[in-house]
Amino acid sequence: SVTNHTYINSHSMCLLLAKLALLDPVMPISVILDNARYQKCQMVTDFAQIVDIELVYLPSYSPHLNLIERLWRFVRKECLYSKYYADF
C-alpha cells in the first residue's frame, strides 16, 4: 500500500506504479483509473510504459463504474434528507 498524508499528485501516482511493478507478477498489470488530471499527465503515462503497466481510464462520466459515486448516492439518500430521529 502507498500512504499519502498530503495531496495526491503525479509523483504519488508514479510511486504507486513503482510499488506495483516491484511485485513482479507473472500476469500483466492493468490499473483502472478515473480521469483525474494527475493520472493522465505525460509523466504518469511515460512511467507506466517504462514499468510495463497498462493504464485503463473510465469513461468521462460513469458514476455506475466509480465506487465513490455509489457511496455518495447512499450518503445523500440515507443521511442528508433532513430526517429527525427522536433517539439514536
Spatial distance between the Cα atoms of 57 and 66, rounded to a whole number of angstroms: 11
% of residues, the chain, pLDDT over 90: 44
Confidence at residue 77, expressed as pLDDT on a 0 to 100 scale: 81
User: Which three three-digit cell numbers place residue 64?
Assistant: 455506475
Q: Which domains does the chain have, with CATH numbers?
A: 10-78 (3.30.420.10)
Q: Stretch 9-18: mean pLDDT, rounded?
A: 92
Round to whole Å and give the CA distance between 44 and 81.
40
Q: What mean pLDDT is reported for the chain?
A: 86
- Asked if residue 17 lies in contact with residue 53, where contact means CB atoms within 8 angstroms, the answer is yes
> What is the C-alpha to C-alpha distance for residues 38 and 10, in angstroms, rounded to an integer?
5
pTM above 0.75, yes or no: no
